[in-house]
Structures are given as C-alpha cells and as structure tokens.
Structure 1
Amino acid sequence: MDPKESYSLKLISNPVISPKGTFFVLNWIDFSSNDYRSSIYLKTEKEVIRLTWEGKESQPYFYDNRLLYVKGGQEDSLMRSSLGEPEKIFSFHKIKKFLPYHDGFIFLGEENQDKDKPFEATSRKYRFDSRGLLRSRTSLYYFNGQEIRRVMGGNFDVTDFDTDGKRVVASATLTGDDVSLQDVFEVDINSSSFQRLTKGEGAVYSLALTKEGFAYLGHRKGLSPWARKDIIFEDGRSVTCGKTCGNSVVNDLFVKYGEKIEADGDKVISLGHEGGFVNVYSIGDSKAEKITEVEGVVLDFDFKDNKLEYVFSNPEKPSLMGNYDPNENVHGVVPRYEVNGIEGWVIERDLSSPNVVFVHGGPHTAYGYMYYIEFNFLYSEGFNVIYTNPSGSQGYGEEFAKAIVGSWCDIDFKEITNFLKSLKLKGKFHLTGGSYGGYFTNMAITKTDFFASGIAERSISNLVSMCGTSDIGFWFNAVEAGISDPWNKESIEKLLEMSPIYHVEKVKTPLMLIHGEEDFRCPIEQAEQYFIALKSKGIEVKLIRYPGDSHEHARRGKPLNMIDRLSRKAEWLKSH
C-alpha cells in the first residue's frame, strides 16, 4: 500500500442535530498544499449535501433556523447562513468555541501576538506543545453585536464554557495554571467578574449547564494523570460511565476528537470507556446508563430532544455516522482478540510473518477496537501487528492505571513479554511506540535483546533533563516517579534509575529514533541524547527529525512528513 493512500481518508466530526437533519464536518488531507481541510455537510434521511466549499469551515451550530460556523483563514470568522450565501458576523484571530448569548455571542478566543518580539518567561508553564511560546492565552470574550470585549482572561487559559442564556459558567486554569489543573467559575458577563465554584484541585475536561446546575467531566484528585474521570455535579454527586468517563483511547486519525459532555433537560450525556470500547452514556438520578452498544469506539456525538447522533470507528472503518460511510472503499483488517493476563489484539497475516509490537503512549491511555492507519499500512507491507493494554492503561479501573507509577517499563514490560510468548508466532519481533511507548522502547532494549529492532518516536531517554525542558516535565515526571521534588539528590537518582540513558551500555538492539523538532512535550533533546550515546557505543542507530512538527507528529503533523514517516518505518523494519 502507498503511504499516501493510507492517509487518503475522510473523517467525520462535530455532528449537530437540527430539524433540517444532522450537520457535520468532513475532514480530509489536501496533499497538494500539504495541509488539512474541512467542510460542513448536512445529512438528511435521503441524502448528504455539501454546504461549504472553501475547505476551511468547522464548528457547525444551528440557531434561530440558521447555520452558524467558523471559517478559517489568516483569522477566523463567525459566519451565519440560511443555507444560501453566508454573512460574516465578526472576526477574531482564533475562535475555539462560540455560543449565542442575548443579542450577541460568547466565545473562547486567542489574540494574535507578534512572534518576532523577545519573550519573557515568568512562570514554569511558559510554552506548550502545539502552541509554542505562550505569548497569548485562551480567554472568554463577549461580542454584543458591535464590539468585542474580554470577559475573563489573563496569564491562564479558559478551557470551556456553557450558557443557558441567563447563567454563564466556565472552566479555567486560573488557580492551577502551571500544572494545567482547572476549576469551574460563575461568570458575570456585564461586570466581567467571576467566582470560583469548585473546591480542592482537579481537572475539568468539559462542562455543561443542566436544569439543576452545572456538571463537568473530570476529577478532584489533584495531580494524578491516572485518575478515573467522572461526571461531577454542582451539588457534589459523582457518577462513573464504564470504567472511566470520556474517551482515553488513542488513535492515529488526523482529527482531534476532544472530550465533551452535553446536557439535555435533566440528562447529562457523556462517553464511557471500558476495555477497548467506548460508548455513549446517559446520566440521570445519579446513575449512568449505556445507550449505545457499539462494537468499536465512539469518537463524537450530539444529543438533543432525546435524539442521539454519533460518530464511531471500528477496525474495518475509520469513520461512520449511522449508515453514512465516507470511505466505502476502505476495509481495515479485523484483529484477533487475545487475553493472557492483559487484553490485546493481533492483526495476523500468518505465523511466520515478522511481527511489530506497538506500545501506546500516555502512559494512562489505551488502545481500542477501532481503525488504525499505521497498523493497516504495516499489515499491507507484510507484518503481523500486535497491540496491548498492559498495566498503566485506562479502561480497566483506576488501580490498574496507577499500577506502574514509580516503576515504568517494569510490570508492563513483564506483561507484554508474557503476552508475546503466548502467541506462538514464529517470525522476528520488532518494538515501537510513541511518547511513553517511545520511552518503553528505549528502556526495553536495555533489558532484553529479544527484539530484532526498535523504533522510538517522540520518546524519552532522560527523565532528569526532561524535568527542565518539557512543558509538563517538572510536575509530570515527579508524580509519575512517585516523588515530590525532582531537584534533590535522592529524586535525581530515582529519575536516573528510571531513565534509559542510565542503562545505555546494555543496549544491543538496532534503534531508529523519530522526533518532531518542535516537540515541547518530549523535547527533541531526549532523542538527541540517546542517539549520541548509542552511536558512541557502536550500536546501529538513526535519528529522523521532522522540522515544524510537534508531539503530534504521527497524528496531525505535516501530511507529507507523516507519509515519509510510514515509508521510513517500513524500510527500517524490512531491513532488520
């Protein structure tokens, strides 16, 4: 299969139920411009109609019998259409979310800043992956029909908001910006004042107003990346959907499907994750009821007037909504389900084919029963593909997710090794993964020479240096290592012991390192250190650098870079 063909997909997002049908966004890659495109469509009972044509439209919203949406460009514009010629309402540098309010609109926006001016850092979180230096922050604005006024903002980010036309609530990192923890605030649009409503410390991934108050998807467990996400109500009630609310399944589809909840009357609608599956749940009377039985992963949804529309993926199809399939000629290979202490899947050609073992990132995410671009490409290139959810993964309970804290690539290494032995496959094994999966690859080859080769992407080699160079390293590495202060002697020794660079003399396995040059999550210095160390030790090693790409290089990097990446991975694996 041509790597370009692997990415020649159309992906559905942002379904919006209306009396006219379901509006949605269709996303694709324009290889000629090396860029991503999106347009708005309408699905009725009889047909699917394209409504916008420039390829830069997103965020459909149906209000007052008209379609609202955001058109991208040098700046974003909020547009209004009666399904004819659209009119521009207002423009702003970036419009991330909007809702009607009285005679105008409330929106999350980010102002344009001069990137050529010197930058002064005054807090530990002064840059962020895929955003760069934080010269501007996401704030809450009000457009009253004539002018735009900032309502809530500062040296923090407003991350979500909702309004019923009277009350306005918003989530923001005001009280925990360095470590990106959020609270919910009551916002007074007229006075531009706000009051904190949540107590303690925790995360707020999405929020919604109900008839009884606000509800949000998140937790109040402080700095705990492994924490189970619940639906938490204003009165303190907490409900879990599946093993954790929301969707913690990783994918390599090039649309960023964010966390969301919706309120409809006295119901709250959310996703719930269990094992390799994600479904839609309805929460009412402090109970969660699963309202879909999808053999796959629900990626996005809308719920209005007791009607549900959702977008999902399964191993055969990257993107489906009801009976609408924008990729009729795409047929992914269905994996075989395997259990040996942990759950996993095998996309198998035959027992003698070479095998590629994938380890997911996070580490507290999971693989799911869905379509993966890279897995299907490598299968077409002659490889068996194996992927598992070992300890540390979400979807199996909070204790399971927390099990590797303080001992990365330990219990999960043993679980994956035992899983592979149980498969009775005869071909050579190769190991790969990104982020934590890249760390795992770097660390595993210091423990075994079982693998014929490794490919570590956006990886970690030195947990000490990462504390001072990563956008989250100064707190994330500490809590994941089970320490409080990463800059004392005992903590440094613990972080070094957990670092692949500390054990580099044990490596015998050929390794390819792949990294985006603008990765602020796991900075490229991590790959540079390991490359120089392995090269100095006489180990076969390559470092592939992608200019302009962030930590998302394998999911939403520059399209031509992603094509090149698949080609290089296949060539490396075949040569070993």
Structure 2
Amino acid sequence: MSPEEAYSIKVISDIRLSEKGLLHTETFIKNDKYKSTIFLNKQQLFSGSVSHPMFKDNSLYFIEGEKTNSLVKQNEYGNKITLVTLGKIIDYTFHDKGILIIGEEKTDKKLPFKANTIKYRFDSRGLLRSRRSLYLYDGKELRKIVSGNFDVTGVTTNGKRVIISSTATNDDYNLSDVFEVNIDTGELKKITEGEGDVSAIAMNEKGEIAYLGHRKGKQPWAVKEIIFPEEGKSVLCGNTCGNHVLSDLFDASKDKLVFEKDEVITVGQIGGSANLYRISDSKAEQITQGKIVVRGFDAKEGKIAYYYTTPEKPSLLFYNDEIYDPNPDVKGKTPEEIKEGIVEGWAIITRKENPTILFIHGGPHAAYGYSYFIEFQFFADNGYNVIYCNPRGSQGYGEEFAKACVGDWGGKDMEDIINFTKKVIEKYGLSGKIGVTGGSYGGFMTNWIITKTDMFSAAISERSISNLVSMCGTSDIGFWFNSIESGIDDPWTQENILKLMKISPIYYVKNVKTPTMFIHGEEDYRCPIEQAEQYYTALKMNNIPTVLVRYQGDSHEHARRGKPYNMKDRLKTKLEWFDKYLK
C-alpha cells in the first residue's frame, strides 16, 4: 500500500434527515485538497468545498467555500443564491425571525497583533484576531447578536427560544456555559451553574434543553453526561457520553445530541466502542450494538440514521435497515483483542518475524478502539505488526481510570504500556525489532519511554511534549492543562518549575540511545514546535541519530486533518525511518 492508496478513501462527514429523505456528505482528497459531495438519498447534488446541508421549505441550504465561507440557498426550481459570506461559518439553524449563524469575521493576518489575554491563540485557528459570534440573518441583512472576546460554540432553537453554549464566563481556560439569548437585545441569561464543559446542546419543540458535558471545573479527565440544567437532572450513557475513541479519518466528527419530544439521542462510549443511546425518563438505553465507533448521526420523527467506522471499514452509513459503503473495495486487517490486567489493547499481527510498531494515543484522556486507522492499515500492509492499547488515563473505562495518570505521567501509564507490549511479544512469539510512536501525549510518552528503556530500536515522536515548563508559556492550553495534569496549581513557583522539569522527558535526555525522528506541524499551538526542537537539538548534541521533520501550514491536527500532501509525505517518511532501523 502506498500513501496515495492509503488516503484514497471517502469518509462520510455529515448526515441530516429531512422531509425529502437522507442528506449525507462524503469527504475525499482530490489534487491534494479536501473536497466534499452532498447526496440526497444517495443521488449527488453538489460537489466542491461544501458542508452542512439542510432542507428548509423545499430549499437546500449549505456552507460553501475555502478561504471564506458562504451560506448558500438552492431553490427547488431556481438558481443558487449566496445569502451570507463570512471569514468562517461554523454552524447555522433556523429561527422564526431568520437564520441563526455562528461565524467569524474575515481579518487581515498580515497586520500586527496585540495580545491582552492569556488565551490569545488557539490550535487550528492561529492568532485569535476574530472570535466566533452569533449572527441573525433576517433575509435582508446580517446582524451580530452575541460577540466579545470569547466564542459562541453552539446554538439551538425551537424557532422562538434561543440557547447558546459559549466561553463568555471563562474564555482563558476554555470553560463553557449554557446561556439563553434575547435575540432582539443580545442580552444573555446564564443557565448553567459552577464551571465545566459543554460539548453539544439541543432543544426540543417545547423549548426544553439538554447538553452534553460536565460541571466539574478544570478536569480534562471528567466523565461527560447528558445534563438537563433546568430540571437538575443528568444521565450517563455507557462509561461516558460522547465519543473519545480516536481515528485518523478526516471526517471532522464532533459531539452531537438530538432532543425530540421527551427523548434525547446521543453517543456513549464503553471501552473502545461508541454506540448510540436513547435517553428517556432519566434512563439511558443503548440502541446500537457491536464493536463499532459511531462518528455521527441524526434523528427525526422516530427515524435514526448514523455513520460509523470499524477496524476494517473506514466509513459506513446505516439508514432504513440498509448499510451503505462508499469504499466497497477497502477491507482493513482485523486486530485481535488483548487483555493485560486492567488494560485493553489490540494487535494486528502480520508475521511473527516482522518488526512491530507500538502506537501510543494522545489525550491522555482519549482512547484507541474499534475505529479504522489509516496509519495502522498502512504499516500492517507494509510488513509490520501493529500494537496499541488503552493505559490508565484513557477515557471509556470510568472516571477513576481516566484520572489515574494525573500527577503521574510516565508512571503507571508507562507501566501499563510496557507490560502490554511484553504480553503481546510473548503471546505471539514476536522475534523482530520493535519501534514506538505516538502523538501529543503519545509523543510525550514516546519521548519519556526512550529515556527509561532501550527495548525500542527506533522511535518517531509526533507533535510531542518534551518540556512541561516551556510548554506552560507557549501552548494555547499549557498554562492550565500542564499544571492540572501534573497535580499542581501554579506552574510559576520555583518548587513547581522544578517538579515540572523532573517529569519532563528533556530532563533525562542524556539517557537516550534510541534513534528518534520528530515530526511536527509548524503552526501547532497545542504542543508548539519548540518542544520538538529542544529534544532534537539535545539528541544531536549527544550524537544520537535523529531527524526533525517540519510541516509548513499544519497545526496539532497534522495527522488527522493536515494538508493532504503533508499527510501522504508523513506516512512515506515514517515508513522510511522504521524500515531503516527495524528491518
């Protein structure tokens, strides 16, 4: 398999039930650009840079554009009309008085920028020259309803009442709340209490609201629930609501819930699976089954459509008891499940004599599971065994398990990973060399492991963390995330600076003997490229074989939604490094 073949797939990236049937969007790579096609009942309607299709009064609405976004309307028997153009349109919905739109104004990125808040840049967005505001388009003009030095992150309405989620109360720490909006005055009424996270919101016809999130403050490991804030109720679906199971599919999926009558439909996760749940009478009922990962869905008038992934299939669409596969010729290798104590993992074994690559996930409170992984299948097809697991800290096994790595990065989590690796080697009698790779927290763990053991013959560390102190001052979230994850309050006391250094891989860099490649996006604001630069320079000065690969224009998402040319080059580059040291 070549990198070009690996990325030749189509992924379903949006679905919407309508009075005319099922709208769905497929995203693919063409001429090193992301393109999408909108289908109605599997019949092609539009193709290009299009997304978010929706029918209203027999007209089709969707977002179109690359450098700027336009909301367009296609009448049933007429021309396509551009309604609104903004720098970026995030989402939209229909109100009795017009169309509610979340968007960003277009700005000039060449002008000087003045920062006056702690959070002044954000990964995949760059410098925050414009913020995400709520607009109303009444058919004639676009009016800004809610705006400020914060983001509107979601909007829902029953046509009269308007509810948003927003970071208005604590934008620096990216905490979000639910507000009711007076669309005539822009006045906000806060509905949620305390501090927490709001990942998705929904409203039913009666104006009742629900959201997916938690009220546990700055706790990245917190289990999410479906919360009914005006009723004081919350319901857990599976081990956590929402989907934390990782994939490198470029479908840009995100959390969602649908609230109709007295029922909420959403996704819940147990271990490495994510399925749909129906919440009614304060109880959650699982309504899809199997070792699958639901990436998106819609529900309307008793009907449900959803798209999901499996280890063998990138993207499948289920509707009306039928399964549609946009990639009928693609069938990935099936991983075998491995259990090592409390740790769940998987292995794709090609031959026991082949070299093996250990993959470590990011987060740390994400998870591996029953998703299709482009990279896993690529390496398996190129003669490698692929192994991966969910150590302590992973989401999907309860909050205590997710919290177990906090204040202990590189402790019990590394122990779980090493024990899992040894178990797989023993179980299958693997005799080839072993490599290790991971991104973000997985990059931290890659950097950390090679200071503690020489069992790996090569390493590739991506969008990694090497110095928790410098990251506190350079990352968009590092100033609070690093502190909390390290079990401290203030990262700038001498005592805590020393503690952060002692749990940083760079502190032990003199121990490294493993040939290590670093891969980083130059516009990564989550784990800035200076993290890779430090470790690379240290290894160079210590005469350890090392290479730093920099991808221009790419953010922290470089392996999932990076520039397509860079993503293909990345697979080629990783394969060359592992071939050199493992084969």
Alignment TM-score, normalising by the size of structure 2: 0.96
CA distance in structure 2 between the partners assigned to 1:280 and 1:168 by the alignment: 26
Residue aligning to 2:61: 68
Residue aligning to 1:87: 81
CA distance in structure 1 between the partners assigned to 2:76 and 2:413 by the alignment: 53
Deviation at 1:103, TM superposition (A): 4.1
CA distance in structure 1 between the partners assigned to 2:291 and 2:392 by the alignment: 23
Residue 228 (structure 1) aligned with residue 229 (structure 2): no
CA distance in structure 1 between the partners assigned to 2:473 and 2:289 by the alignment: 45
Residue 157 (structure 1) aligned with residue 145 (structure 2): no
CA distance in structure 2 between the partners assigned to 1:515 and 1:380 by the alignment: 25
Residue 291 (structure 1) aligned with residue 287 (structure 2): yes
Residue aligning to 1:339: 339
Picking from 36, 49, 52, the partner of 1:38 is 36
Deviation at 1:477, TM superposition (A): 0.2
Picking from 309, 319, 325, the partner of 2:305 is 309
Deviation at 1:212, TM superposition (A): 6.1
Q: Which amino acid aligns with 1:260?
A: K
Equivalent residue pairs, number: 569
Residue aligning to 1:529: 534
Residue aligning to 1:482: 487
CA distance in structure 1 between the partners assigned to 2:472 and 2:90 by the alignment: 30
Superposition map of 1:87-126 within 5 A: 87-126=81-120
Picking from 523, 527, 534, the partner of 1:518 is 523
Residue aligning to 1:300: 296
Cα displacement string for residues 39-72 of structure 1 (whole angstroms, at most 9, x for unaligned residues): 21112xxxx210013x111101122122211111
Cα displacement string for residues 430-480 of structure 1 (whole angstroms, at most 9, x for unaligned residues): 100000000000000000000011100000100000000000000000000
Deviation at 1:74, TM superposition (A): 4.1
CA distance in structure 1 between the partners assigned to 2:506 and 2:184 by the alignment: 55
Residue aligning to 2:512: 507
- DSSP-derived class of the 1:51 partner: strand
CA distance in structure 1 between the partners assigned to 2:524 and 2:84 by the alignment: 33
Deviation at 1:87, TM superposition (A): 2.4
Superposition map of 1:78-477 within 5 A: 78-83=71-76, 85-210=79-204, 211=206, 213-234=208-229, 235-322=231-318, 323-341=323-341, 342-423=343-424, 424=426, 425-477=430-482
Cα displacement string for residues 240-298 of structure 1 (whole angstroms, at most 9, x for unaligned residues): 01000000011101121011111111111110011110000011111111011132100
Cα displacement string for residues 15-60 of structure 1 (whole angstroms, at most 9, x for unaligned residues): 1112322101110011x2x2111121112xxxx210013x111101
Cα displacement string for residues 203-259 of structure 1 (whole angstroms, at most 9, x for unaligned residues): 001101133621100000000000000000022201001000000011101121011
Q: Which amino acid aligns with 2:381?
A: S
Deviation at 1:83, TM superposition (A): 4.8
Cα displacement string for residues 106-144 of structure 1 (whole angstroms, at most 9, x for unaligned residues): 110100111111111000000001100000000001111
The question of whether the paired residues in 2 share the 8 Å contact of 1:51 and 1:83 is answered with no
CA distance in structure 2 between the partners assigned to 1:546 and 1:189 by the alignment: 43
- DSSP-derived class of the 1:386 partner: strand
Structure 1, unaligned runs of 5 or more? none
The question of whether the paired residues in 2 share the 8 Å contact of 1:212 and 1:266 is answered with no
- DSSP-derived class of the 1:162 partner: strand
CA distance in structure 2 between the partners assigned to 1:97 and 1:142 by the alignment: 12
Residue aligning to 1:20: 20
The question of whether the paired residues in 1 share the 8 Å contact of 2:258 and 2:266 is answered with yes
Q: Percent identity?
A: 53
The question of whether the paired residues in 1 share the 8 Å contact of 2:87 and 2:107 is answered with no
- DSSP-derived class of the 1:477 partner: helix
The question of whether the paired residues in 1 share the 8 Å contact of 2:440 and 2:465 is answered with yes
CA distance in structure 1 between the partners assigned to 2:169 and 2:7 by the alignment: 41
Alignment TM-score, normalising by the size of structure 1: 0.97
CA distance in structure 1 between the partners assigned to 2:148 and 2:421 by the alignment: 51
CA distance in structure 2 between the partners assigned to 1:566 and 1:79 by the alignment: 37
Deviation at 1:514, TM superposition (A): 0.4
Q: Which amino acid aligns with 1:117?
A: L
Q: Which amino acid aligns with 2:69?
A: D
Structure 2, unaligned runs of 5 or more? none
Q: Which moved more, 1:15-24 or 1:221-230?
A: 15-24
Cα displacement string for residues 478-534 of structure 1 (whole angstroms, at most 9, x for unaligned residues): 000000000001111110011000001111111000001110000000000000111
The verdict on how the C-alpha distance between 1:146 and 1:328 changes in structure 2, with shifts beyond 3 A counting, is same
CA distance in structure 1 between the partners assigned to 2:576 and 2:84 by the alignment: 49
The question of whether the paired residues in 1 share the 8 Å contact of 2:405 and 2:413 is answered with yes
CA distance in structure 2 between the partners assigned to 1:311 and 1:83 by the alignment: 27
Q: Which amino acid aligns with 2:326?
A: P
